[in-house]
Structure 1
Amino acid sequence: MEEHYYVAIDIGSASVKVVVGEKFHNGINVIGTGQTFTDGIKRGVIDDFDVAKQAISDALKKAKIASGVDIKEVFVKMPVIHTEILDIENAIQFNGESTEITGQHIEDVLDSVRDKYQADNTEIIGVYPKLFIVDDIHEVSDPKEMVATQSLAVDAGVITINRSLLVNTLRCVEACGVEVLDVYSDAFNYTHILTPTEVELGACVIDIGDQLTQVAFYERGALFDADSIPVAGSHITNDVAQALNTSYDKAERIKEQYGHAFYDNASEQDVFHVTQNDKEEEAAFNQKELSDYIEARVEEIYEEVFELLQEMGIDKVNGGFVITGGTANMLGIKDLLQDMVNEKVRVHIPTQMGIRKPEFSSAIATISSGINFDELLDYVTINNHETPVEEQYTVSEEKSKPAKGLFKRKNQVNVESGETVTVKSDDIDEEVKEEQPGLMKKIMKSLFE
């Protein structure tokens, strides 16, 4: 991505969030964000194209102003809804020739996985390696710089999504004047909000958004399965509005200010007043009374999560439960689940300045996915930002092999602090550059093949 910035767009049911970040040592430095609330999106799917487009444009504009970055290329996260998770094995052969494995070899073996999957009305949006096997002997997580003579194999997970959903989302984003570099599913993104121990032991992520609760389970270092529940924060608000006989907007404000998901810990002393629909005088309620309505709906969400896990064939969650998403801001959300299970429960909140809210978990995890694949495929970003670096670029006469994947990626650049580097471009002449088709063009072209 230009200037080594990563821009993620999270198109959620309640709002569009844009995060601009850069790699900083072993983490991410957030340099700007934008958020616009909208009703043009329902359950993560574009409901009103023009309204959604305006919200995306507004969020991009806010992020551009906040970060000072001219945003031209973005990563887009896709929801778990209408998603299928598959396991596919694949290998490339070296035919006895001693070969040092590079990022290009890894890219080739992952890209060729796509050729093995053919299905109508679906599109692959993620191919993630569970493990690599070098010469049928060594099982490794990153085979770069190893030497193989026979083969490089991969046990990969494949994430597919409904093609119509994907195409309409990409059209809406690119109509805002930016190019989509890549798409990452929340099913994969959630890996980055878990600790290595949680991913290894078997952890469940519960992302409670506005209209959709997404559930993903990880075990032995990789994604096992993911699904969604059409019940989330807006349903809690509806319950509050009906119980207190008030409008949805007032119920939303009351939920945010006084809501508590665990009745036992709610306070009777925390009293608030509500203007009701059919009365002129305000009615008084306390937090404990409000919690009675909220707890019932949140408990229903958790019970549906348990049913989903059973349908996935999961009977143990040794790594515990991790709650995130906008509704995770509510008091008692962790306490109620902890009262229902024996496993460890925690709420995940991003640690970066400016986005320390659980609703930003998906956006920052999308950036982590982009960095993760860039490093795996040798697309390396700036390693140190402690001092300003004046970056110089020259164009090499040597031409590197063009990527064969679905998504256009940036040129491979490795920048150390104070170092002049050479960029090897894909089929680029010093004077004439052949434009590569973007993600949207490639997918639209495939529709008519």
Structure 2
Amino acid sequence: MNSEMYVGLDIGTTSIKVIVAEKVKGQMNVLGLGNERSEGVSRGIIVDIDKASESIRRAVNQAEEKAGIQIHDVIVGIPANQLKIEPCSGMVAISDQSREISDEDVKNVTVSAMIKNLPPEREIMDTLADEFIVDGFDGIKDPRGMVGVRLEMKGRIITGPKTIIHNIRKAVQRAGLNPSSIINMPLAQGMTILDDGEQDFGTVLIDLGGGQTTASVVHDHQLKFTTVDSEGGEYITKDISVVLNTSLESAEKVKRDYGYADEIEASESNEFPIEVVGQSQPVRISEKYLAEIIQARVDQIFTRMYKSLSSISALNLPGGIVLTGGVAALPGISELAADRFDTNVRVYIPDQMGLRHPSFSLPLSLVTYRANMSEIQVLVRSSLEGKTVVNNTQSNDDFIGNDYGDDVIDNSSEYIQQDNQPQQPSKPKKSGSKLAKSTKGRLKRFYQDFFE
């Protein structure tokens, strides 16, 4: 039986998740799962390599026991913090005297396309080939075996901060593992969670994680834009702890057991006990009061996301919004999001047995994305290992004015660096019928100017 084994590693702020999966006849079967409390990670970033590596080791040991295998190689997710998507292109002469394009030619043209004027603090994380051109004939997905004298490639490179990538790689290696593939999280999720129509016509994917919230825009089967808000489920738990004067452990438990994202759906009459510091007896709290605390923080996150996404007209995309991540498990979250963003919203929950919770969507996406990569995608990605050192003498201004638009390729600090101080949430104004009246013209300009 022809099968392949994949191990996905999700280094989250609140938990480390490991999934062992086997691809058999095109079907992904989950064999084992590890889920341990995360240490040494803050807002999705590793801040203590030793503590993080120990958490990784515990999660991997748990997955090994359940899967009955020994894990060596892992597919690691990289967060979208300060991620940039930039167009690239390269051209080489065919090396083979027969003029038949080989694997080596594909690698050479990929390396040629990766020669970018990157600042020294950034590193290429991934290279995505959109098309190959052989002697002027474009739209080719796999040029191998074709005959020609000149090979071109047009695509995109994804870059990230060297510090983040180094710390992740170091923590994984210190846990005794080999990071065989380092994959951008929004890319993996967008290409696996969204269905074909959502990827084609355009959809916003919002991952409501423990340490931060990430929004991604996928259109024409390509990751076009990402933005990160530095608040997530951890902040909701801290709010509950402070307001109700209870421990973080107790706050997390009541959030999971009784929490609603939308106070409208919570009951005033349904009450539950909670341990309060300084009180000998538990205090009873209503579901509605708890929901008010939760909604206040979720509203803040959605308000900032609304601002970032509406600035690039992403909320006009036909696919609407897909929510995932641990916070997406809160009852009423889709209704609240639909009201705040004024678009259709659905929650993604994996359908695999034992993983039916939105918090498992990321590690499952990592193994699914890697397992479904085509031969040419794997070949292009392998060129990262032998890429030429780039020249760092020129500025990033060389990238401005490309086909994707500045907002797409540069997730600048106004989107990435968010103020963590509590803010008074304000509901974004709905467009209502005004949106409908101008949709045709705006969408036409949107597709032409932004995504084309």
Normalised to the residue count of structure 1, the TM-score between the two structures is: 0.79
Q: How far apart are residue 252 of structure 1 and its match?
A: 0.6
What is the rounded CA distance, in whole Å, between the counterparts of 1:146 and 1:269 in structure 2?
Answer: 71
* 1:270-294 deviation line (CA, Å, top 9, x unaligned): 3201121232232212212211111
What secondary structure sits across from 1:65 in the alignment? helix
What is the rounded CA distance, in whole Å, between the counterparts of 1:206 and 1:65 in structure 2?
Answer: 33
* 8 Å contact kept, 2:325–2:360: yes
* 8 Å contact kept, 2:7–2:75: yes
Which residue of 1 is the match for residue 18 of structure 2?
A: 18
Which residue of 2 is the match for residue 187 of structure 1?
A: 186
What is the rounded CA distance, in whole Å, between the counterparts of 1:268 and 1:223 in structure 2?
Answer: 43
What is the rounded CA distance, in whole Å, between the counterparts of 1:362 and 1:201 in structure 2?
Answer: 22
What secondary structure sits across from 1:116 in the alignment? coil
Q: How far apart are residue 144 of structure 1 and its match?
A: 5.0
Greater alpha carbon shift after TM alignment, 282-291 vs 322-331: 282-291
What is the rounded CA distance, in whole Å, between the counterparts of 1:269 and 1:102 in structure 2?
Answer: 70
Q: How far apart are residue 78 of structure 1 and its match?
A: 0.6
* 8 Å contact kept, 1:262–1:336: yes
What is the rounded CA distance, in whole Å, between the counterparts of 2:30 and 2:143 in structure 1?
Answer: 29
Give the aligned CA root-mean-square deviation in angstroms.
Answer: 2.8
* 8 Å contact kept, 2:237–2:252: yes
What is the rounded CA distance, in whole Å, between the counterparts of 1:372 and 1:107 in structure 2?
Answer: 20
Taking structure 1 as reference, are residues 26 and 270 closer, same or farther at Cα in structure 2, changes over 3 Å only? farther
* 8 Å contact kept, 1:241–1:248: yes
2:205 equivalent to 1:205: yes
Q: How far apart are residue 10 of structure 1 and its match?
A: 0.8
What is the rounded CA distance, in whole Å, between the counterparts of 1:95 and 1:172 in structure 2?
Answer: 40
Greater alpha carbon shift after TM alignment, 130-139 vs 337-346: 130-139
Which residue of 1 is the match for residue 73 of structure 2?
A: 73
* 1:396-441 deviation line (CA, Å, top 9, x unaligned): xxxxxx9972349xxxxxxxxxxxxxxxxxxxxxxxxxxxxxx9xx
Which residue of 1 is the match for residue 266 of structure 2?
A: 266
What is the rounded CA distance, in whole Å, between the counterparts of 1:288 and 1:259 in structure 2?
Answer: 9
Please give the residue correspondences for 1:33-48 in structure 2 after superposition, counting only pairs within 5 Å. Answer: 33-48=33-48
Which residue of 2 is the match for residue 112 of structure 1?
A: 112
What secondary structure sits across from 1:180 in the alignment? strand
What is the rounded CA distance, in whole Å, between the counterparts of 2:131 and 2:43 in structure 1?
Answer: 33
Normalised to the residue count of structure 2, the TM-score between the two structures is: 0.79
* 1:263-312 deviation line (CA, Å, top 9, x unaligned): 22222343201121232232212212211111121122111111122444
Which residue of 2 is the match for residue 299 of structure 1?
A: 299
Which residue of 1 is the match for residue 175 of structure 2?
A: 176
Taking structure 1 as reference, are residues 204 and 377 closer, same or farther at Cα in structure 2, changes over 3 Å only? closer
Which residue of 1 is the match for residue 399 of structure 2?
A: none
Which residue of 2 is the match for residue 28 of structure 1?
A: 28
Taking structure 1 as reference, are residues 16 and 178 closer, same or farther at Cα in structure 2, changes over 3 Å only? same
Greater alpha carbon shift after TM alignment, 108-117 vs 286-295: 108-117
Taking structure 1 as reference, are residues 38 and 25 closer, same or farther at Cα in structure 2, changes over 3 Å only? same
What secondary structure sits across from 1:406 in the alignment? helix
What is the rounded CA distance, in whole Å, between the counterparts of 1:403 and 1:340 in structure 2?
Answer: 39
Taking structure 1 as reference, are residues 274 and 232 closer, same or farther at Cα in structure 2, changes over 3 Å only? same
Please give the residue correspondences for 1:244-255 in structure 2 after superposition, counting only pairs within 5 Å. Answer: 244-255=244-255
In structure 2, runs of 5+ residues without a counterpart are 390-452
How many residue pairs were aligned?
A: 387
* 8 Å contact kept, 1:225–1:312: no
What secondary structure sits across from 1:373 in the alignment? coil
What secondary structure sits across from 2:156 in the alignment? strand
Which structure carries more helix by proportion? 2
Taking structure 1 as reference, are residues 280 and 337 closer, same or farther at Cα in structure 2, changes over 3 Å only? same
Taking structure 1 as reference, are residues 182 and 278 closer, same or farther at Cα in structure 2, changes over 3 Å only? same
Which residue of 2 is the match for residue 406 of structure 1?
A: 384
What secondary structure sits across from 2:384 in the alignment? coil
* 8 Å contact kept, 2:73–2:179: yes
Which protein, 1 or 2, shows the higher relative CO under an 8 Å CA cutoff with sep ≥ 6?
2
